């Protein structure tokens, strides 16, 4: 279904009409359409904060339905009777080896056999009803496995516990159902709202998203460690706090700032280094602090103070993660380029700072448990989940965005910076500094594209429209501009 029909679909939904999407395989166009549709529907229901969770859940259900259809097509293709236990065992091994993880190779077979998945969404008095149907019944062996997973999933407190217990390599990781139930519990949706039914012809998954949510706060040992670490993080030194206050005053005297800077030899070096950098291109070498401050300006000085102070505290207290800081440097450059390109002149310096500090929380998360954080990253990549935050929340009980927000508030960062850190993966949830968040989100996403962590169709529809990058060509053109600008500066 074309993206141009989204508004009509939402209008029909608001009129209590069921709306449906039918497809053979959830390709990029289907994914982008579903993302945009859900964003609009949830926004109208004041539940946009559930967007990433619902996208993750529906993707899991849809992939499972597609896999069931693909299995039928595969058994037919190799002339094996899927209902015969011996043939099933033989065929499922080959299916796992040949098809799982690359279902798109069977897309033509799915079309030839008219094996579609249909998603229907209906507004109800007590919430939203989602129905996912595929024209193949569940095999008895699969049904038994599903029931076991559902019952076990209700007992788990977090996803790491589930992973070791339920891992089933028969047709993949076997974690989809557990993931769905834990995400629902975390959002305050009773697992009884998730039902799987089958008969001799079809399989149907029903999911009710109620108006009233009762979130279960996941509390883990790691989460407690993280909160203790945040509590123990020192505030900025007094002279840095004084300098930040001076930078924000309209009637400040440059000499007052200069005297404070000169008390800190390392800071003095950093200010002179910035003033003599390529970004300012001075006509002569600057060796005087007063002149350096006037050259870089108070906004840039404020950004420098926050960045070097944050990095110094985190690097001294936690492990050094140069890769994260390198990513932040690139994100800052991309954010500056985007803001400049779209004539957001009043926030260019601010979004650059947002890019520099958006991943503060990730450093703390990696320091507390590197193995778990890397495992989550692998899982997010393997299952094509748009953001790691949903997995962090059900595995740890807190996301790196929330950790960063707590640190930013502790350090009394400006509110635009707090919100950019908090919402850099969920821009539609931001209500105040929308442009700051949108630019930071897009800059971070563009950086992720280079490592195949993100794709064009991951980008929120509203953000694509705001920056006029609805087509992949326009998206790629902006990405190239950001890369070229960054590489030119780096040289």
pLDDT of residue 417: 97
394-431 tens-digit pLDDT: 677 788 999 999 999 999 999 999 999 999 998 988 88
Adjacent-strand bridge partners of 134: 203
Q: Supply the pLDDT for residue 165.
A: 64
Phi-psi region of 51 (alpha: psi -120 to 50; beta: other; left: phi over 0): alpha
Lowest-confidence region among 41-50, 54-63, 256-265, 343-352: 41-50
Sheet holding 117-124, edge to edge: 19-23, 117-124, 127-134, 203-210, 194-198
Q: Which fold has domain 221-490?
A: Hypothetical protein af1432 (1.10.3210)
Q: Please give the model's pTM, rounded to 2 decimal places.
A: 0.73
pLDDT of 169 reads 46
The pLDDT assigned to 226 comes to 83
CA distance 104 to 27: 8
Contact status, residue 392 vs residue 404, Cβ threshold 8 Å: no
**24-33, 115-124, 361-370 — most confident range:** 115-124
pLDDT in tens, 160-194: 776 666 554 444 445 788 888 888 888 888 889 99
CATH of range 3-210; options 3.40.50.720, 3.30.565.10, 3.40.50.970, 3.30.70.260: 3.30.565.10
Q: Which of 134, 13, 133, 125 has the alpha carbon at shortest distance from 72?
A: 134
Arithmetic mean of pLDDT, 438-444? 97
pLDDT band of residue 106 (cuts 50, 70, 90) is confident
pLDDT confidence of residue 65: 92
Residues in a beta bridge with 23: 117
- Segments making up each domain of the chain, as ranges: 3-210, 221-490
- pLDDT confidence of 290, banded at 50, 70, 90? very high
Reply yes or no on whether the pLDDT at 353 is more than 70: yes
| Torsion of Cα atoms, 139 then 140 then 143 then 145, to 10° | -110
46 vs 349: which has the higher pLDDT: 349
């Amino acid at each position: 279904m074309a993206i141009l029909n989204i508004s009509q679909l939402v209008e029909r939904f608001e009129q209590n009409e069921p709306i449906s999407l039918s497809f053979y395989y959830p390709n990029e166009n289907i994914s982008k359409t579903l993302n945009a549709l859900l964003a609009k529907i949830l926004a109208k229901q004041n539940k946009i904060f559930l967007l990433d969770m619902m996208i993750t859940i529906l993707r899991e259900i849809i992939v499972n339905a597609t896999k069931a259809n693909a299995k039928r097509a595969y058994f037919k293709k190799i002339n094996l009777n899927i209902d015969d236990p011996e043939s099933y065992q033989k065929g499922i091994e080959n299916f796992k080896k040949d098809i799982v993880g690359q279902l798109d190779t069977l897309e033509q077979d799915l079309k030839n056999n008219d094996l579609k998945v249909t998603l229907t969404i209906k507004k109800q008095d007590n919430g939203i009803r989602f129905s996912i149907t595929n024209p193949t019944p569940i095999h008895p062996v699969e049904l038994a496995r599903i029931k076991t997973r559902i019952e076990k999933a209700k007992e788990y407190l977090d996803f790491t516990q589930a992973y070791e217990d339920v891992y089933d390599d028969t047709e993949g990781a076997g974690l989809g159902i557990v993931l769905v139930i834990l995400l629902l519990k975390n959002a305050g949706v009773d697992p009884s709202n998730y039902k799987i039914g089958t008969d001799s012809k079809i399989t149907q998954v029903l999911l009710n998203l109620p108006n009233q949510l009762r979130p279960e706060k996941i509390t883990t040992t790691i989460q407690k460690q993280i909160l203790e670490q945040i509590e123990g993080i020192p505030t900025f030194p007094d002279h840095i706090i004084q300098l930040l206050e001076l930078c924000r005053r309209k009637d400040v005297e440059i000499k007052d700032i200069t005297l404070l800077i000169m008390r800190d030899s390392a800071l003095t070096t950093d200010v002179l280094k910035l003033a003599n950098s390529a970004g300012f291109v001075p006509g002569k070498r600057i060796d005087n602090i007063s002149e350096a401050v006037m050259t870089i300006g108070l906004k840039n000085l404020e950004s420098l103070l926050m960045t070097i102070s944050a990095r110094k505290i985190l690097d001294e207290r936690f492990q050094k993660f140069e890769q994260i800081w390198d990513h932040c440097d690139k994100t800052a450059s991309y954010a500056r380029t985007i803001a400049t390109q779209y004539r957001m002149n009043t926030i260019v310096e601010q979004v650059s700072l947002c890019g520099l500090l958006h991943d503060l929380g990730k450093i703390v998360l990696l320091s507390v448990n590197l193995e778990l954080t890397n495992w989550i990253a692998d899982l997010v990549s393997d299952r094509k989940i748009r953001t790691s935050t949903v997995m962090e929340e059900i595995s740890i009980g807190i996301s790196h965005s929330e950790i960063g927000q707590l640190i930013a508030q502790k350090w009394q960062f400006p509110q635009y910076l707090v919100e950019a850190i908090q919402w850099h993966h969920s821009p539609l949830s931001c209500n105040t500094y929308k442009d700051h968040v949108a630019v930071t989100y897009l800059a971070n996403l563009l950086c992720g594209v280079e490592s195949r962590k993100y794709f064009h169709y991951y980008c929120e529809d509203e953000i694509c429209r705001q920056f006029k990058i609805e087509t992949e060509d326009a998206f790629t053109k902006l990405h190239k501009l950001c890369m070229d600008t960054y590489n030119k500066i780096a040289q």
